[in-house]
Structure 1
Amino acid sequence: MTAPLRVAILHYHLRPGGVTQVIAGAVRALAGRDVRVAVLAGAPPDARAGIEAPVAVVPGLGYATRAAPAPPPERLAAALADAARGALEAAPDVWHVHNHSLGKNCALPRALARMIAGGARVLLQIHDFPEDGRAENYRALRRDAGDGGATALAGRLYPRAPHVHYAVLNRRDRDLLLGAGAGAARVHLLPNPVSVEEPSEPEGPAAGEGLTFLYPTRAIRRKNLGEFLLWAAAARRGERFGVTLAPASPAEAAPYARWTALARELRLPVQFELGARPGATLRRLVGTCACAVTTSVAEGFGLAFLEPWLAGRPVAGRNLPEITADFAQEGIALDGLYERLEIPADWVDAGKLRGAIEAALRATYAAYKRTPPADAAARAHRAIVANDMADFGRLDQAAQAAVVRRVASCPAAAEAFRPRELRIAGAGVVARNRARIAERFSIPAYGRALEAIYRAAAAESPGGIEALDAGALLDGFLAPERLFLSRF
């Protein structure tokens, strides 16, 4: 009988949410499979993290701060090796590293580079790219690269070698890595698992009960709250809207405050922060609404397009084809969502729109020490305005607020929308989508996929190490056609 595959899973921390939830799901998915797992993190796990595997704390692996600066990379590499051997009783067959390139600890990619040079077989799972709107993180990585500049940075963040594999959440990210020179056999599409529970009726009255449309989200800028309020401004009699959570980041507080103040001023039928009310849970809130909504303009994996169906509720709102194309290929019906919420272009001041586009492009490219292409503004404008109609979700927040005011003062103006209304899928679609999601994105399915990736990586013979074209990757994320002014 062969020994089980040994895998060390790395992340900066094990606080609840995000990547920690994915790691907890991976550990559960691998239980009972021929894989022995240990988790390495920079601090002990939060009691709510739900990590059902041995955890080794590696000082220096957490987010670097002034109080706790990143250690020398050679020391971190040695500490990782010691911790993994201690937890697994042997060197790992595969190192599964989450978000190594995020820029929260510049010693980690340098330590990994040393390990890869020594023949370590590595799976780099990227949830969040620093090139995708995280310019401060990217600048920290560039500073750490010093005189080596972009060339040194590319080698640290995106090594290309037979024994280095990548995992990403969606086809967009996979295509960007392939366009940067990664080999197709070494870039794996690994969508997150979702929790499958029987839908149940909420017990007794709950905050938000009787809502028509619920936006289950933390209302940061990329969630495009203005679009949700526009639908509320155009609401038919008796329709009620709700949002679950306020932003946690101080940087997001001011935009959120402006939107909530506008909703109060216009007396829109919207309730905010339902998830913060006593006794509220996401499950109960979703269970009390008629339909979940997303108006987000940027996602990594897109749980918002999957989870409500599992709770027996349809999803309406904005589609993100670069994310949801993978779901459609799995047979999940999302055809009721729209790719653009079009309003008449003459509702928007053309001069102000051009100015906002040019300013946003300058700021975005400058943040990455780049200059916009000569045709960048024209390309961005074509993505916003087409056939005399403008995509509301791509407008800046001031322009969005003006449109919300227009519709609130004259609801008949909503007849000019394309589409005119949020479409609520029927019970048959809900049942079919729920069954398909439960089959394709379950914990057991994730375990099978993850073990197959580990075995592919473990079978590789170490070889020569090069670098992906990090410039091409950055160009892909900065493409003017991807500009959403509502994120600024």
Structure 2
Amino acid sequence: MKIAFIHYHLKTGGVTTVLKQQVETLRDTCDILVLTGEIPESPFLCDTVHIPGLGYDRKDQSRSDPQGIAAAVTRAIHLKWKGGCDLVHVHNPTLAKNRDFLKILKALQNKKIKLFLQIHDFAEDGRPLAYFSEDEYPQNCHYGVINSRDYNILLESGLKEKGLHTIFNTINPFKLNTTDAPQKNLVLYPIRALRRKNIGEAILISLFFKNNETLAITLPPNSPADMESYEQWKAFVKEKNLNVIFEAGLSHEFSELVMCAKFLITTSITEGFGFSFLEPWTAKKILWGRKLPEICHDFEKNGVWLDHLYTRLTVPVEWLGKEKFFRAWQAGIQKACSMFDIRIDKTNILHAFETITTNQTVDFGLLNEAFQKTVISKALSDKSHRDRLIFFNPFLSNPGNVSDKKTLIQHNMNTVLFHYNKANYKKKLFDIYSRVIKDTVCHNIDKKLVLSKFLSLEDFSLLKW
């Protein structure tokens, strides 16, 4: 097969990692070309062509002509293959990082190019600034998603099974040394500290570590919005003299940090695929923390054991001031509605608030950083407050503790390596590609329905929105 990939850039990140994995998986049996909006920072795994009009919008850049960019794409493809390619695999096309992107894809469709559009992230999932408010999503082409939740959402929003495919990511197992790395008194949260990674919850949990372990967070965020929150957390930790290290991954090899950690933690409130629920087991490490049922469903269906994770960290709403929290929560909803140009009845907001504060408690993951710091400060101020949190959340009495640790690690490692390996991934890619080439589809996405699925008031978190 002749496959052309399109992505805005090839910078280090989640989607670029997946793209690299796909190229690695296919390059022995397929002829591959990658078209990108930015010049790669380092040599890539296959032929690449830089087409600036495919990159992110920049303030200092004038708008390009979508037809001209589409023509540049087809020229690059025909320079590589005289007869053109079998299909074009496009990553994350529904994020408005490039305001002309959907018009470019439409122009490619008009040139009879078969498209496979793989969605990793939805603008409707808490990213209003990346929402295409005017353009419709491409019609009559094949789509791919990375979990069953997104598959069901798009199925309910107008796509047909014939043209909608799940493609679970493959994972890169940790290379285990023959000699065990010396374990340190360290608990590792191996992430780039975006707001949605909910590092405040990991900091709160660190107050309950049994043996005074250090919480290590690996990397800082990139975006200005996330950076402001991150710097404030660093200042808070310093002020309270907490046992937390930031940016551990900048001064230590990542694999070294993983291997010497007692266990790995996750407190994220939203994920696309959920690598963090799979990869630690291949390093023979316990993963402990918050479970995201909609994401973990696929893993558990394949046999990964995650029952030891919690789904809610309960705190008394009185610690926040119930009226104060309601005002902030309602304002967050109204802001999101304004940015997406939709309306939600105030009665529905009041009803949802009563639901999320049932028994005069609330999930810590729904709070913004200011409210989270209030809870942490309360827990620090008196042992009776920490005891109350343990009463609501018995798992806080011994974070990282699981029964029959060796069996859990071995079972999950075997299951992950069996289901999420490169051979399965290659087979799945070929199966999807053959259907994209063979099957004509006639369907479209109702964007309002997609938004209604993601903008759920009972899950509305001030960290995400």
Confirm or deny a common fold (TM above 0.5).
yes
Question: TM-score, normalised to structure 1's length?
Answer: 0.88
Separation in structure 2 between the aligned mates of residue 395 and residue 344 of structure 1, nearest angstrom: 12
Larger displacement relative to structure 2 (430-439 or 265-274): 265-274
Find the counterpart in structure 1 of residue 392 from structure 2.
417
Matches of residues 188-207 of structure 1 in structure 2 within 5 Å? Answer: 188-200=165-177
Matches of residues 150-299 of structure 1 in structure 2 within 5 Å? Answer: 153-154=135-136, 157-159=137-139, 161=140, 164-200=141-177, 210-277=184-251, 280-299=252-271
Separation in structure 2 between the aligned mates of residue 246 and residue 372 of structure 1, nearest angstrom: 35
Separation in structure 2 between the aligned mates of residue 393 and residue 73 of structure 1, nearest angstrom: 41
Check the 8 A contact 1:202/1:287 in 2, yes or no: no
Q: Partner of 1:252: helix, strand, or coil?
A: helix
Equivalent residue pairs, number: 458
Matched, 1:79 2:72: yes
Find the counterpart in structure 2 of residue 365 from structure 1.
337
Check the 8 A contact 2:286/2:400 in 1, yes or no: no
The partner residue of 2:437 within 442, 445, 458 is: 458
Question: Alpha-carbon deviations, 1:244-285, whole Å to 9, x = none?
Answer: 1222222223322222222222222222211122xx121111
Separation in structure 1 between the aligned mates of residue 354 and residue 110 of structure 2, nearest angstrom: 46
Separation in structure 1 between the aligned mates of residue 170 and residue 112 of structure 2, nearest angstrom: 30
Q: Partner of 1:420: helix, strand, or coil?
A: helix
Separation in structure 1 between the aligned mates of residue 424 and residue 359 of structure 2, nearest angstrom: 44
Q: State the shift of 1:215 in Å.
A: 0.7
Question: Alpha-carbon deviations, 1:52-87, whole Å to 9, x = none?
Answer: 222122231111223333421111111111111222
Check the 8 A contact 1:14/1:43 in 2, yes or no: yes
Matched, 1:45 2:40: yes
5+ long unaligned stretches in structure 1: 146-152
The partner residue of 2:11 within 8, 12, 15 is: 15
Separation in structure 2 between the aligned mates of residue 47 and residue 322 of structure 1, nearest angstrom: 36
Matches of residues 102-121 of structure 1 in structure 2 within 5 Å? Answer: 102-121=95-114
Q: Partner of 2:52: helix, strand, or coil?
A: coil
Residue type of the alignment partner of 1:429:
L
Question: Alpha-carbon deviations, 1:295-329, whole Å to 9, x = none?
Answer: 01011111111111111111110011111111111
Q: State the shift of 1:333 in Å.
A: 0.8
C-alpha change, 1:366 and 1:374, in structure 2 (3 Å) is: same
Matched, 1:439 2:418: yes
Question: TM-score, normalised to structure 2's length?
Answer: 0.93
C-alpha change, 1:237 and 1:188, in structure 2 (3 Å) is: same
C-alpha change, 1:66 and 1:405, in structure 2 (3 Å) is: closer
Q: State the shift of 1:136 in Å.
A: 1.7
C-alpha change, 1:64 and 1:397, in structure 2 (3 Å) is: closer
Separation in structure 2 between the aligned mates of residue 487 and residue 107 of structure 1, nearest angstrom: 26
The partner residue of 1:314 within 286, 290, 300 is: 286
Find the counterpart in structure 1 of residue 445 from structure 2.
468
Q: State the shift of 1:401 in Å.
A: 1.1
Q: State the shift of 1:416 in Å.
A: 2.3
- What's the Cα RMSD here? 2.1
Q: Partner of 2:233: helix, strand, or coil?
A: helix
Residue type of the alignment partner of 1:314:
I
Find the counterpart in structure 2 of residue 63 from structure 1.
56
Separation in structure 2 between the aligned mates of residue 430 and residue 84 of structure 1, nearest angstrom: 46
